[in-house]
Chain A
């Protein structure tokens, strides 16, 4: 009880003024993004806007990372494009519900812990790929359009980046949108506006179950998309949570965040919104503006709802060029430019992992596949590196009848071949002694490699004696349970 009260105070009430102001800034920045991501997904802007305020409000209570902003995102929108094109909005809503369900299950199974297998390079690759995809998604608005659009986009970018030098009290993307809308209306420019892209919200969302037949066919259509959505959503949420953790020097509850994302998506799906997740860019903006507590996320959702109710008609008149300039800012701000500079200094393997993640994602438009490739590659590279830590030395006895082999290092699937090749089977000799007490046999491949070595020597008529096999194979068991016992680790690794 005491704990509950104090954590409630800390999460909600410790930072009220800054949280509310940051929430307002975030809400203003969310409007163009939610609209733009709806357009990427191929649905009406209202689907993204409904989703954004539902998700922000629900996650502020249910999430595990106070101060993190979740809403409709580009990463998720990119996954649902094909589903929307082929089957329509109702299937998207069904997929959103299923995504939420899968995420809740993932939270219960504590799959957040799997994030530790996602290396730094993969995360960088994910972020870069996301930035590139968001940028590429702006092409349709930039190709085959009148020159006025280019002028507006350039003007918008100039305002976004230069206005903060004048004043940091007003969000510069908002200023850009206001100015560009004013210009477009004032000069009566013939450019595409948000209103041309589809329906905007004109009322509060209604509670509705998706209008899809409850059949196996539906599941077959929806499940693959939902799985990808669930994975991508959790990946981006976990990464963003880690970023916010790092920025604010506080910790978060990853499994609660998984369940929270699921609950938020289910609520969004039932209210006619698309699936969403945590947003890296918006969360950075929130922290930068002073948002720390759950109140900032809740405020972002509530302000977003209020703004839409008040400004609905005006939102329709925003030229698409203004949104494009905001999205270009988002992609520039999301991209890790330092990672390009670091390509020269970091080890080649980590650069390859990063680049592969980016390449696969950009080619397949699927962040989950990119991350999978990145994780697999980093696993390969790690196994390769550790496999190099193996040395087999030998010396013959004075009379030349016996040879001592001494194995030091890690023997497992990636190094078993090198291990077997280190023995000279053709040497004419009576006895061979293999001392493995300074080696570690990690898996069955290692043991069978040793068996083969012994067999081969025997076939040549050589006696084989293996020393220290017990110590070497202590690492074979699957559950060491030594992580909290330094003595046990010493015993296994240091013998």
Chain B
């Protein structure tokens, strides 16, 4: 495999408060995976939103032509500005990576919707890094939806960040014995991403015999691969146990399978993944 076609770490950044955290996480991950890093910034035009200053209700000579010219001129101006701002923003992130000692960085500015763009780019990517939820509630909600459909449609691991990023020393794997959880263990033991980190395995609630056996197996698998593993088998909901463990054990990264249920079920019952994501204050590694 030549260097040109090496799989990369793709960080989706927008000009929000999380940009630097996402960049730092991506630099950390790319360094551990020894992969090139690409910062992707998507310019999403929103023609369904409008600024209407003119409520005069009057239409004059060639109203339609004039309106078309005015609207397209404004769109053109906004697009140009967004493009320039996007370029500067990406150049800043590249400089940040360089300052952190990481030089194999590429930047890419694209038009389109975030989810579609990421799906298009999925080939040749080892790991996605995304910010989840900005300061405002509406934004967070939209990203939560995006995240669900991304996790379900992308086969890769997805690292999400929701506040400042610091390189983790200990990671917590939320384990429920399901096929999805076991698949995740397989993902992780072969990936250099978590190599050398202290691993905590959490099995919450009242597990069946099947789940306990899977837990024991996961533990031995990880230990065979050289992880130091600490198992926590605790009662109650995972979303209440995770924040406590994070605090008490100094966990820096949460890893879990996510969004295994269909969209309609999430809509009716709420999503366990979303509850966990909201409660976890640390970067989270997701897989499907």
In the complex, A15 has a CB within 8 A of chain B: yes
Return chain B residues, CB-CB under 8 Å to A174. Answer: 57
**Alpha-carbon distance between A1 and B152 when the two chains are bound, in angstroms:** 14
Q: Identify A291's interface contact among B50, B64, B264, CB under 8 A.
A: B50
Least Cβ distance of A338 to chain B in Å? 5
**Alpha-carbon distance between A322 and B102 when the two chains are bound, in angstroms:** 72
Return chain A residues, CB-CB under 8 Å to B62. Answer: 336-338
**Alpha-carbon distance between A41 and B248 when the two chains are bound, in angstroms:** 79
Return chain A residues, CB-CB under 8 Å to B50. Answer: 15, 18, 248, 287, 290-292
What mask results when residues 47 to 84 of chain B are scored 1 for a CB within 8 Å of chain A, else 0?
Answer: 11111111111111111110110011001000000000
Return chain A residues, CB-CB under 8 Å to B59. Answer: 281, 284-285, 288, 329-330, 332-334
Known: A2-B149, A6-B145, A21-B52. A161 touches B57 (CB 8 A): no
In the complex, A29 has a CB within 8 A of chain B: yes
Return chain A residues, CB-CB under 8 Å to B54. Answer: 164, 168, 288-289
**Alpha-carbon distance between A217 and B64 when the two chains are bound, in angstroms:** 44
In the complex, B269 has a CB within 8 A of chain A: no
Chain A residue nearest to B48 (CB atoms) is: A14
| Contact B264 A1, beta carbon cutoff 8 Å | yes
Return chain A residues, CB-CB under 8 Å to B63. Answer: 281, 284, 288, 333
**Alpha-carbon distance between A284 and B62 when the two chains are bound, in angstroms:** 11
| Contact A170 B55, beta carbon cutoff 8 Å | yes
In the complex, B5 has a CB within 8 A of chain A: no
In the complex, A246 has a CB within 8 A of chain B: yes
Most central of B51, B63, B264 by chain A CB within 10 Å: B63
In the complex, A28 has a CB within 8 A of chain B: yes
What mask results when residues 26 to 64 of chain B are scored 1 for a CB within 8 Å of chain A, else 0?
Answer: 000000000000000000001111111111111111111
In the complex, B230 has a CB within 8 A of chain A: no
Chain A interface helix/strand/loop/mixed: helix
Chain B residue nearest to A26 (CB atoms) is: B57
Return chain B residues, CB-CB under 8 Å to A66. Answer: 48
**Alpha-carbon distance between A21 and B64 when the two chains are bound, in angstroms:** 20
| Contact A333 B60, beta carbon cutoff 8 Å | yes
The size class of the interface chain A forms with chain B is: 35 or more
Q: Identify B48's interface contact among A15, A169, A172, A289, CB under 8 A.
A: A15
**Alpha-carbon distance between A169 and B54 when the two chains are bound, in angstroms:** 7
Return chain A residues, CB-CB under 8 Å to B48. Answer: 10-11, 14-15, 66, 250, 292-293
**Alpha-carbon distance between A293 and B56 when the two chains are bound, in angstroms:** 19
In the complex, B263 has a CB within 8 A of chain A: yes
Least Cβ distance of A440 to chain B in Å? 38
What mask results when residues 246 to 288 of chain B are scored 1 for a CB within 8 Å of chain A, else 0?
Answer: 0000000000000000111001000000000000000000000
Return chain B residues, CB-CB under 8 Å to A14. Answer: 46, 48-49
Q: Which residues from 1 to 50 on chain A have a C-beta closer than 8 Å to any C-beta of chain B?
A: 1-2, 5-6, 10-11, 14-15, 18, 21-22, 25-26, 28-29
| Contact B52 A290, beta carbon cutoff 8 Å | yes
In the complex, A173 has a CB within 8 A of chain B: yes
**Alpha-carbon distance between A257 and B178 when the two chains are bound, in angstroms:** 47
In the complex, A247 has a CB within 8 A of chain B: yes
Chain A residue nearest to B152 (CB atoms) is: A2
| Contact A164 B51, beta carbon cutoff 8 Å | no
Known: A5-B267, A336-B62. A289 touches B57 (CB 8 A): yes
Return chain B residues, CB-CB under 8 Å to A291. Answer: 50, 52
**Alpha-carbon distance between A325 and B74 when the two chains are bound, in angstroms:** 31
| Contact A247 B49, beta carbon cutoff 8 Å | no
Interface size on B, residues (CB 8 A): 31
| Contact B47 A248, beta carbon cutoff 8 Å | yes
Count, A-B residue pairs, CB within 8 A = 127
| Contact A171 B58, beta carbon cutoff 8 Å | yes
| Contact A247 B58, beta carbon cutoff 8 Å | no
Least Cβ distance of A83 to chain B in Å? 30
Return chain B residues, CB-CB under 8 Å to A11. Answer: 48
Known: A5-B263, A172-B57, A285-B57. A338 touches B65 (CB 8 A): yes
**Alpha-carbon distance between A250 and B67 when the two chains are bound, in angstroms:** 15
**Alpha-carbon distance between A288 and B55 when the two chains are bound, in angstroms:** 7
**Alpha-carbon distance between A21 and B149 when the two chains are bound, in angstroms:** 34
**Alpha-carbon distance between A292 and B61 when the two chains are bound, in angstroms:** 23
Return chain B residues, CB-CB under 8 Å to A173. Answer: 57-58
Least Cβ distance of B137 to chain A in Å? 14
| Contact B47 A249, beta carbon cutoff 8 Å | yes
| Contact A1 B68, beta carbon cutoff 8 Å | no
**Alpha-carbon distance between A329 and B60 when the two chains are bound, in angstroms:** 7
Chain B residue nearest to A6 (CB atoms) is: B145
Chain A residue nearest to B71 (CB atoms) is: A247
Least Cβ distance of B44 to chain A in Å? 12
Known: A1-B263, A291-B50. A164 touches B71 (CB 8 A): no
Known: A247-B68, A250-B48. A332 touches B57 (CB 8 A): no
| Contact B55 A289, beta carbon cutoff 8 Å | yes
Return chain B residues, CB-CB under 8 Å to A167. Answer: 56
Least Cβ distance of A62 to chain B in Å? 19
In the complex, A132 has a CB within 8 A of chain B: no
What mask results when residues 269 to 294 of chain A are scored 1 for a CB within 8 Å of chain B, else 0?
Answer: 00000000000110011011111110
Q: Identify A289's interface contact among B52, B64, B72, B263, CB under 8 A.
A: B52
Least Cβ distance of B238 to chain A in Å? 25
Return chain A residues, CB-CB under 8 Å to B58. Answer: 160-161, 163-164, 171-173, 329, 333
Return chain A residues, CB-CB under 8 Å to B262. Answer: 1
| Contact B267 A1, beta carbon cutoff 8 Å | yes
Q: Identify B55's interface contact among A25, A160, A243, A287, CB under 8 A.
A: A25
What mask results when residues 236 to 250 of chain B are scored 1 for a CB within 8 Å of chain A, else 0?
Answer: 000000000000000
Q: Identify A22's interface contact among B52, B61, B145, CB under 8 A.
A: B52
What mask results when residues 131 to 169 of chain A are scored 1 for a CB within 8 Å of chain B, else 0?
Answer: 000000000000000000000000000001101100111
What mask results when residues 71 to 103 of chain A are scored 1 for a CB within 8 Å of chain B, else 0?
Answer: 000000000000000000000000000000000
Least Cβ distance of B142 to chain A in Å? 9
Return chain B residues, CB-CB under 8 Å to A172. Answer: 56-58
Return chain A residues, CB-CB under 8 Å to B145. Answer: 2, 5-6
Least Cβ distance of A180 to chain B in Å? 15
In the assembled complex, 29 residue pairs joining A and B whose CB atoms fall closer than 8 Å, in A order, are: A1-B267, A25-B57, A28-B57, A160-B58, A163-B56, A168-B54, A170-B56, A173-B58, A243-B64, A247-B64, A247-B68, A247-B71, A248-B47, A250-B47, A281-B63, A284-B59, A284-B67, A288-B59, A289-B55, A290-B53, A290-B55, A291-B50, A329-B59, A329-B60, A332-B59, A333-B60, A333-B61, A336-B62, A338-B62
Chain B interface residues toward A at CB < 8 A: 46-65, 67-68, 71-72, 75, 145, 149, 262-264, 267
Chain A interface residues toward B at CB < 8 A: 1-2, 5-6, 10-11, 14-15, 18, 21-22, 25-26, 28-29, 66, 160-161, 163-164, 167-174, 243, 246-250, 280-281, 284-285, 287-293, 329-330, 332-334, 336-338
Known contacts A287-B50, A289-B57, then 14 further A-B pairs from the complex at CB < 8 Å, ordered by chain A residue: A14-B49, A15-B48, A18-B49, A161-B58, A164-B58, A172-B56, A247-B64, A247-B68, A247-B71, A250-B48, A285-B57, A291-B52, A329-B58, A336-B64
